[in-house]
Structure 1
Amino acid sequence: MKTILIPTDFSKNAWNTISFAMQFLKAERCKFYFLHTYTPAFYRMDYVLGGPEFSAIPDKGVDASLSGLEKTLEAVREQFGNPKHIYETISAFNVLTDEIEEMVQEKGIDLIIMGTQGASGAKEIFLGTNTVHVIRKATIPIMVIPAGCKYKPVEKILFTADYWSKYHRNELYTAIEIAKTNNAKITVLHIKEEYDLTKEQEENKAFLSLCLAQVDYEFQEERGSFMPDAIIEYLEKHPYELLVMMNRKHSFFERMLVRQNVDQIGFHVQIPFLVIPDTSKSVK
């Protein structure tokens, strides 16, 4: 059984993410954790010492969190009730990134699914602050659902690759499982910015081919001087249901996150994207 973590702030976008997840995983046995984190508007000594349960003063944040999770669970069961799915709600007095890190370890989370914007997210900003922080600290794959994105069966997956580092089967496991479950084809896209592939890149590409041997895949190469723009242009010409990116040093995705204002680079992907964390340092 897969364990899926879905953070929620009870916003419209958060519900859209939940709706997507329920449909995306409707055929698989899963346990879903719906997580809401909160902190008080101001810190009190009783909170610092022991959290809200030790405070003699009622905290509206606790009530709002529990009530919101209860309503979310009711809506999920009413609209997407599935005998293959188990649900659990978690209300936590904590910072979102810290709570997620703890849950990944304690609950054995396989995948995090979250939206791009929260209740206060500006429409012109592609990635909200929480999403960026979670992606940067994550040690497991994260599927990010753009605001307003509706579920579509996954038939074609675009995987961006620069071949500068060796790929490992355990890193690609989630992407491969999605392809196998949905009988989807993976297109490995390399943006050729200047020179031909080096010997090292050719070797990494060959090993990637071995990693993808269990699924239908193809290699594509496009020329472009700026990788983010080239990928966006490719997606505009060729429709895909899922984009997969590695969050590695000097990767396209890392370059995108370095920008303070993500919207300035025009990165407005309208399809879900899976971010795979860099585990190469721990893989032999």
Structure 2
Amino acid sequence: MDKRILLPTDYSQNAWNAIIYAMDLYQNVRCDFYILNAFQVSGYTLDSMRVPETGEPYYEAAKQESEEAMQRVMQMIELHPRNDKHRFHTKTTLNSLTEAVKSTVAKKDIDLIVMGTKGITESKARIFGTNTVNVMEQIRECPVIAVPNGYRLGGLKEIVFPTDYRTAFKKRKMSDLVELARLWDAKINVVHIDRDRDGTLDRKEQANKELLQEILQGTDHEMHFLPADKISRGINTFIDDNGCDMVAFLNKKHLFFGSILSNPLVKKIGYDPKVPILELNDN
């Protein structure tokens, strides 16, 4: 079955950049790309008592504007070298982005979401845009890749995967990480983060480590140790020193990472994303 990838867009440069990244990342995979725009109508809010309907001038104007912008996106895609493995589908809808994404994920059996870290209205001071945070937090059915503004894929050779080994890993939850590593012959750097000790593991943690090693069999991977008091500099330094192309997180709520963006390791390490983040859900 072809891979089904959802590409939300607000027609910003960052969103366009994420579309190009997804096409490049899966250039050798048969994919159905679903490009989605959730538009709003000026003067209305989605939680108001009255929602604009088909035929009303404000609705029709907003719908036309969204559809014309989508046509421009498709024209830009056509300017890129043709890839016979890729098919594109488009949808514009009056909705909040999160609800539109949720609906599309369910109806189209989406495997992966790829989106930019910020949209056209986001403050430069904000590391992640509100829409990206909402999608990562509320969509638990599939992984999300968040692509920093201006990032272009030059290859995928080194991936960082931080963990504390305190929860059991599941093969199906790690499948997208393993798939990417095999696609690109990339190395997965498992970085053990220890808040309390010197890197020694108790029996449960050791069992989880061995389980992870079993899951990663067939990929190039290496285990590293990083003391917790150096999280802030350590992971960023690791990314820079090893020329890493992606950071993967297992987003398990209420545990070590908490919810990675609302109570995030991202904030904890002061991580201003220079490379894409693959968020894997463990729900």
TM beyond 0.5: yes
- Superposed, 1:191-230 pairs within 5 Å as 191-195=193-197, 196-225=200-229, 227-230=231-234
Q: Deviations over 1:115-150 (max 9, x none)?
A: 011012222321000000000012210011011111
The residue aligned with 1:176 is 178
Determine the C-alpha separation between the residues in 1 that align with 2:238 and 2:82.
Answer: 37
The residue aligned with 1:4 is 5
Query: Secondary structure of the residue that 1:252 maps to in structure 2?
Result: coil
How many residue pairs get matched?
Answer: 276
Considering only aligned residues, what root-mean-square deviation do their CA atoms show, in Å? Answer: 2.2
Cα distance, 1:179–1:58 mapped onto 2, change above 3 Å: closer
Determine the C-alpha separation between the residues in 2 that align with 1:58 and 1:211.
Answer: 50
Cα distance, 1:74–1:210 mapped onto 2, change above 3 Å: same
- Superposed, 1:1-284 pairs within 5 Å as 1-43=2-44, 52-53=53-54, 55=56, 59-139=60-140, 140-195=142-197, 196-225=200-229, 227-249=231-253, 250-252=255-257, 254=259, 256-258=261-263, 266-279=270-283
Determine the C-alpha separation between the residues in 1 that align with 2:163 and 2:31.
Answer: 30
Cα distance, 1:37–1:256 mapped onto 2, change above 3 Å: closer
Determine the C-alpha separation between the residues in 2 that align with 1:92 and 1:212.
Answer: 40
Query: Secondary structure of the residue that 1:127 maps to in structure 2?
Result: coil
Cα distance, 1:213–1:26 mapped onto 2, change above 3 Å: same
Fraction of identical pairs, as percent: 28
Cα distance, 1:255–1:7 mapped onto 2, change above 3 Å: closer
Q: Higher helix proportion, which one?
A: 1
- Structure 1 letter corresponding to 2:259: E
Q: Which moved more, 1:34-43 or 1:140-149?
A: 34-43
Q: Deviations over 1:187-232 (max 9, x none)?
A: 1111222223222111111111111112111111111326354322
Cα distance, 1:244–1:253 mapped onto 2, change above 3 Å: farther
TM-score for the superposition, normalised by structure 2: 0.90
Q: Give the deviation of 1:48 after TM superposition.
A: 6.2
> Contact 2:251 / 2:280 at 8 angstroms: preserved in 1?
yes
Residue segments in structure 2 that go unaligned for 5+ positions in a row: none
Q: Deviations over 1:220-276 (max 9, x none)?
A: 1111326354322322322111111011123336254326xx779632120111000
Residue segments in structure 1 that go unaligned for 5+ positions in a row: 280-284
Query: Secondary structure of the residue that 2:192 maps to in structure 1?
Result: strand
> Contact 2:54 / 2:60 at 8 angstroms: preserved in 1?
no
Query: Secondary structure of the residue that 2:63 maps to in structure 1?
Result: helix
TM-score for the superposition, normalised by structure 1: 0.90
> Contact 1:193 / 1:227 at 8 angstroms: preserved in 2?
no
- Structure 1 letter corresponding to 2:134: H
Please list every run of at least 4 consecutive aligned residues from structure 1 whose deviation after the TM superposition is greater than 6 angstroms: 47-50
> Contact 2:18 / 2:115 at 8 angstroms: preserved in 1?
yes
Query: Secondary structure of the residue that 1:174 maps to in structure 2?
Result: helix
